[in-house]
Structure 1
């Protein structure tokens, strides 16, 4: 039986490891990290010290940030290698630098795992981040839908072969395409057409929201907006929407108006990989292009990847040098390791626990009088409306941090406090699930969160200042310490 990387100290941060397979590697991992930090210390001791403190801080806090997780020790160690020293612009077998045969192997293995894991015809593993993955996707769609037809019309194969006049016309056309994406306050992402973001500057954009009464996606309203706006690209996916999406319906809408469906599954890729989302809720069979990060619920290194149909694969494959610089070969290697972990049966069990824990956490908040956007969750995240506690998101976030609960403030639909102060707190269950927390522990965490918020009082008219009742932080930290001690982070790893 293959060990779950989430429960073995050799590979990842998991629950108590006394009987866990792979426990024999804990001493090896400890020796490796001690050696690494000792070497760093000889050059810049402040960095070694900050690295040690970061592990201590993560061990001692309840990490509930939906976009964070704990990568396995195997993934982390893979990043610290001489693969970092290679320039490898281009793609497998077609590099602009010599001596990239080993990088070709790394990239090929990572792409193979991504294709097999998600059932995609094509995978591109070079993007350095989620926004890079989205930029590659946007420009691949523009290249396929706008640039390629223009070149064919003029009987040339490359933009350099266009006359100056025709090139100016094409540039103007590329810069005036339409994009329809989920609004930020409804749970979308900055890169889905938010005007201050590059995506909002690249496109003539419009946003779709959620039903003002339920907070849920209204597919009829999305279809009506698409018919009226006629976008080239419809972006689906979310960063703060606590429900699942019917991607078959989104594809029907896209097909009706002749749009390309692009899905950003950065937040819920782990639930797709773990087969919690299947059928109409799995975006890969329905989207023309799917993007994701490789950390978050996928539990890998910080980075991105793009999945695509055969139609869009050639343009995506030109992500470097079209949008990206030299790929990070050491991170691609770590992606390969993380994707290999995600293909193990144990990862499916982990992904299901993430969703089960989110539901338990939401129910724990609701039964204690908290108000949740959409009234609950059926994915990995929970969005709490803190106005019922008389707080802004910023006040709630800070008070929770004082108490050892790490979260992030987040806008809610029609947020009266805007995107900076906000009226919500976003919680996620992937990280603590990796540590071994179950429904009972998440119910206790919900109790602690409500305890903090009920004992936090705004100061005057300030949206940032607050007072936390005496003894609250100490009480919550003590209770958290019991939960954390029972579910240690990287058990057996000593520095």
Structure 2
């Protein structure tokens, strides 16, 4: 991470003074958040550190604008500058990913997925229905026809990766809205290797015949062949939607190319703009021209007013991701994941799929006699920030889990390399080996509470501090 200039330090200091003049507790919490992030090993795969330029772009008067609609077609007056911002962000996204169309309004990855789902339903179901009915829009339908259309829209089939295999809540998980709006089913991974079995996916697709086949993941530590997934989707006339929220930075940074790049193969691609892409918290959608008109209806179909200040920050982040330095960063993210995985394996830890070839390392903590919840909490006590995660066929379910998910994007941004990530693996294993589940009242092992041996947290924090001090977060940023 490049050094922060004196001008940037001054700007942040003055901004905090302004905030403190109104609500000093918020200013103090903001200062403390920076201190906490500087002093901990951030290994959450979905988090990163945005540049000062990206962060500052969000703190402007674009926050004060309502701009429902699309470029040149807003429901509010005075949106000419928002049009400029959205156009620039969309152009950068299209160029960065080689996409035909980009929609940068979604507020989050979930918003992006919901918008994409309804856009596909509008394109594949609503449009043909209206055409057959001889009307231009739903308002022209009779009540009886509207009931029939509503029933058909709500009974389409979606097939996505199961949550315990590495999929996301929004890929058809029953408690999520995606699992309620579709007749859903799921594909998993090979029960022995933990890897995607494309033949098994193809078989399930031909049996289930979904309207939408969802590919992509939030906790699968391997690459996906999207050419094969498109072939499988085409076999039943399904729309292929890829959620690349986690690995968008590896696509932008040209680490995932050819058949591992979803953009040339998917009809619709959704993503977040943070995580490995290192931008602001938000979402976006890429699509073929065929689906562009339906996606463009995201507001008011699903979304409310776009967050113009965040769209501006997305434009800045996309511009940063078009540089050679970002490509170097993205390759380092993948290389560092290999180093972290190798560090775990050399110390006898068990990894789901036996390793990684993206930015995610998924550690099965049952060999330490722990649940994911216990491991996550013990690591946090020692200054290592992670998140618990399900593993395939997880015996502990989605709350307690049996795994810990690690990601390398954030610490790679700080400058960590092979040696540091090997050391991180050593520290994690040390903590987990020294964590013991507490006993419940009936004598069984608790799934939640634990005891971390004396001195382990201090030892881990001391070793971490040496690496963190050598790789400072926002170097040069001093708050007065």
Aligned to 1:344: 323
What does residue 472 of structure 2 align with?
A: 488
2: CA distance between counterparts of 1:393 and 1:405?
A: 14
Q: Distance in 2 between matches of 1:128 and 1:423?
A: 31
Query: Once the two structures are superposed, what CA deviation does each residue of 1:103-136 show, in whole Å capped at 9, x if it has no partner?
Result: 0000000000000000000000000000000011
Show the counterpart of 1:90: 69
The answer to whether 1:317 aligns with 2:296 is yes
Give how far 1:162 is off.
1.0
Corresponding position: 1:40 with 2:19:
yes
Instruction: Give the gaps of 5 or more residues in structure 2.
Output: 440-444
Q: Is residue 200 of structure 2 the alignment partner of residue 216 of structure 1?
A: no
Aligned with residue 32 of structure 2, among 41, 45, 53: 53
Distance 1:154 1:207 in 2: 33
TM-score normalised to the size of structure 1?
Answer: 0.95
- 2:279 equivalent in structure 1: 300
> 1:288 and 1:326 mapped to 2: Cα distance?
25
Q: How far apart, CA to CA, are the structure 2 residues paired with 1:467 and 1:164? A: 62
- Deviation per residue, 1:415-448 (Å, 9 max, x gap): 0000000000000000000000001110011000
Match of 1:187, SS state, is: coil
- 1:125-174 CA-to-partner distances (Å, cap 9, x unmatched) read 00000000001100000000000000110111111111111111100000
SS in 1 for 2:448: coil
User: CA offsets per residue over residues 18-47 of structure 1, 9 Å max, x none?
Assistant: xxxxxxxx2111110111111110111111
Counterpart for residue 451 of structure 2:
467
1:7-22 equivalent positions in 2, closer than 5 A? 7-10=1-4
CA distance in 2, matches of 1:490, 1:237: 31
1:478 to 459, 462, 470: 462
CA drift of 1:204 comes to 0.2
Distance 1:346 1:29 in 2: 21
Name segments (4+ residues, structure 1) moved above 6 Å: none
1:66-94: CA deviations, max 9, x gaps?
00000000000000000000000001000
Question: Residue 189 of structure 2: SS of its match in structure 1?
Answer: coil
Q: CA–CA distance in 2 between the matches of 1:215 and 1:31?
A: 50
1:111 to 2:90 alignment: yes
Find the aligned partners of 1:100 and 1:476 in 2 and give their Cα distance. 52
Cα distance in 2, alignment partners of residues 445 and 209 from structure 1: 30
Q: Which residue of 2 aligns with 1:368?
A: 347
Give 1:67's match in structure 2, choosing from 28, 42, 46: 46
| Corresponding residue for residue 4 of structure 1 | none
SS in 2 for 1:459: strand
Q: 1:137 maps to what in 2?
A: 116
1:65-214 matches, within 5 Å, as 65-214=44-193
Residue aligning to 1:388 = 367
Q: Note the 1:433-452 alignment, pairs <5 A.
A: 433-452=412-431
Q: What's the C-alpha RMSD, in Å, of the aligned pairs?
A: 0.5
- Give TM-score scaled by structure 2 length: 0.98
The yes-or-no answer on 1:354 pairing with 2:333 is: yes
The C-alpha deviation readout for 1:273-296, integer Å capped at 9, x for no partner, is: 001000000000000000000000
Distance in 2 of aligned mates of 1:80 and 1:143: 35
1:190-215 superposed Cα distances (whole Å, 9 cap, x missing partner): 00000000000000000000000000
Separation in 1 of the partners of 2:474 and 2:149? 53
TM superposition shift of 1:9: 2.5
Q: Which residue of 2 aligns with 1:30?
A: 9
Structure 1 unaligned segments of length 5 or more: list them: 1-6, 11-25
Corresponding residue of 2:434: 455
Is residue 330 of structure 1 aligned with residue 330 of structure 2?
Answer: no
**Residue in 1 that maps onto 2:442:** none
In the alignment, the residues of structure 2 paired with residue 303 and residue 104 of structure 1 have an alpha-carbon distance, to the nearest angstrom, of 18
Offset at 1:8?
1.4
User: Structure 1 CA distance, aligned partners of 2:2 and 2:135?
Assistant: 56
User: How many aligned residue pairs are there?
Assistant: 474
Q: CA–CA distance in 1 between the matches of 2:433 and 2:308?
A: 48
Give how far 1:57 is off. Answer: 0.1
